[in-house]
Amino acid sequence: MTSVVFTGIGLLYTADPEREEIEDAALVVDDGLVRWIGRSADAPPADERVDVEGRAVIPGFVDSHAHLVFAGDRTEEFAARMAGRPYTAGGIRSTVAATRRATIPELVSTTALLVSELVMQGATTFEIKSGYGLTVEDERRSLEIACQFTEETTFLGAHVVPPETTADDYVRLVTGPMLEACAPYAKWVDVFCERGAFGEEHSREVLAAGRKAGLRLRVHANQLGPGPGVRLACEMGAASADHCTHLTDADVDALAATGVVATLLPGAEFSTRSPYPDARRLLDAGVTVALATDCNPGSSFTTSMPFCVALAVREMGMTPLEAVRAATRGGARALRRTDVGTLCVGSRADLVILEAPSYVHLAYRPGVPLVAEVWRTGRRLV
Ligand SMILES: [Zn+2]
């Protein structure tokens, strides 16, 4: 593989706490990894040279929360909501019906389209959940499809109780035959712990069974109101509690004390016209914060990490630096990854060249296509 030296980087944001920003920087990648970082004037030679011409470079975004395997569309529900109807978890069921009707090639092609959107907007690592099948075979095939696109696959059989069954019976299915069929295709298990979805005891059962099957834990927690989700995530040692929109002081303390990442998903609040999570309160308490898209057809149909960064800055009290850190290193922490989300010697060579002199422009110029080039494992994708 040819080595590449990137020179003339006006501002390199590394997300490495040791040396987070370097002006007038250069970076060498070889064999898929970052091999050297320093001042442009000191850059060693390489097989290929890319002159960034004063633009900013950041690590590829890590989108640690996305629901990409589904069929159908919920345009009308969105339009109705914008006309004043509130969001409830039940709308998931219409996507479930469409997903069950879809063929595997149809699901693969819609997932591929969303993945390409994510990558075009700078995401180089992303998680994909199941959760729109809700039968043993429909969940299994969703995860089998997800595996074609990422190693970060999450079994979310416990997304909502399907209409044909009761919560008790469904949790027995999720923790039994469905888990058995899905575990070979999943790295993570997740549960939508929320009023209208799964209560505390059922959520604990789902997580415990997943862990016993060798999966790691993440939780949809405290999105629509206060509840036990964050506490449960902390108690069970989940990597991440996602949403965290409605938190008590005890929830914030528990996140800080346990190191469970708070993954904030501002696309959901934007698209449901709901109050945003208070990122400032979490950061001030010492909680690790991640930002992710929550891409799904119901409550957050965006694949844009830059859009989430802009929302976090404008609406959630984060500085541009904190938001970009949360969208890179924070996302990696939420997936317990140390090889991505930062640019240090030895990191995977995943980087984004911005059509801007600074990462601040991601928030300062919202909605503008600033992602000029995307490189993953040392290869140019965009
Ligand atoms: Zn979600």
pLDDT in tens, 51-66: 999 999 999 999 999 9
Ligand 1 center to 20 CA (angstroms): 30
Evaluate whether 6 touches 55 at the Cβ level (below 8 Å). no
Q: Give tens-digit pLDDT for 178-208.
A: 999 999 999 999 999 999 899 999 999 999 9
* pTM attached to this predicted model: 0.97
In angstroms, what is the C-alpha Rg of the chain? 20
Which residues make up the environment of ion ligand 1, defined by Cβ < 5 Å?
Answer: 294
How far does the centroid of ligand 1 lie from the alpha carbon of residue 344, in Å? Answer: 30
Question: Which pLDDT score, from 0 to 100, does residue 90 have?
Answer: 59
The DSSP string of 207-264 is HHHHHHTT-EEEEEESSSS--SHHHHHHHTT-SEEEE--S--HHHHHHHHHHT-EEEE
19-40: pLDDT as tens digits = 999 999 999 999 999 999 999 9
- pLDDT at res. 200: 98
- Residue 314 alpha carbon to ligand 1 centre in Å: 22
What's the 241 CA to ligand 1 centre distance in angstroms?
11
CA 149 to chain centre: 14
* C-alpha 169 – ligand 1 centre gap (Å): 23
Q: How many residues does the chain have?
A: 382
Residue 7 has phi, psi (to 5 degrees) of: -115, 170
Instruction: Decide: helix, strand or coil at residue 138.
Output: helix
- Is 86 a residue whose pLDDT tops 80? no
What separation in Å is there between the alpha carbon of 65 and the centre of ligand 1? 6
User: What pLDDT is attached to residue 322?
Assistant: 98
For the beta carbon of residue 345, count every other beta carbon within 10 angstroms.
13
More confident residue, 77 or 152: 152
For the chain, give me the number of helices (H) and strands (E)?
A: 15, 16
> How many angstroms is it from 297 CA to the middle of ligand 1?
10
Three-state DSSP state, 306: helix
Q: Environment class of residue 366 by beta-carbon count within 10 Å: exposed (0-12), middle (13-18) or buried (19+)?
A: middle
How far is ligand 1, taken at its centre, from the CA of residue 75, in Å?
18
Q: What is the 3-state secondary structure of 31-80?
A: CCEEEEEEEHHHCCCCCEEEECCCCEEEECEEECCECCCCCCCCHHHHHH
**C-beta of residue 198 within 8 angstroms of C-beta of residue 169:** no
Q: What is the band of 87 on the pLDDT scale with cuts at 50, 70, 90?
A: low
Q: Give residue 299 CA to ligand 1 midpoint distance, Å.
A: 9
pLDDT number for residue 373? 98
Residue 41 C-alpha to ligand 1 middle, in angstroms?
45
Whole-number Å distance, alpha carbon 194 to ligand 1 midpoint, is 12
Q: Please report where in the chains the tokens 């850190």 appear, as a residue.
A: 325
Strands across the sheet with 152-158, in order? 61-63, 123-129, 152-158, 188-193, 216-221, 240-243, 261-264, 289-291
Residue 66 Cα to ligand 1 midpoint, Å, equals 6
Indicate the pLDDT class of residue 339, thresholds 50, 70 and 90: very high
For a pLDDT cut of 90, what percent of the chain falls above it? Answer: 94
Backbone φ and ψ of 360, nearest 5°? -55, -30
Please report the sign of the dihedral spanned by the C-alpha atoms of residue 277, residue 283, residue 285, residue 287: positive
Cα–ligand 1 centroid distance for 51 (angstroms): 39
pLDDT tier at 139, thresholds 50, 70, 90: very high
pLDDT at position 89: 55
Given the DSSP bridges, would you call strands 216-221 and 188-193 parallel, antiparallel or unpaired?
parallel
Tell how far the Cα of 202 is from the centroid of ligand 1, in angstroms: 18
* Cα–ligand 1 centroid distance for 172 (angstroms): 22
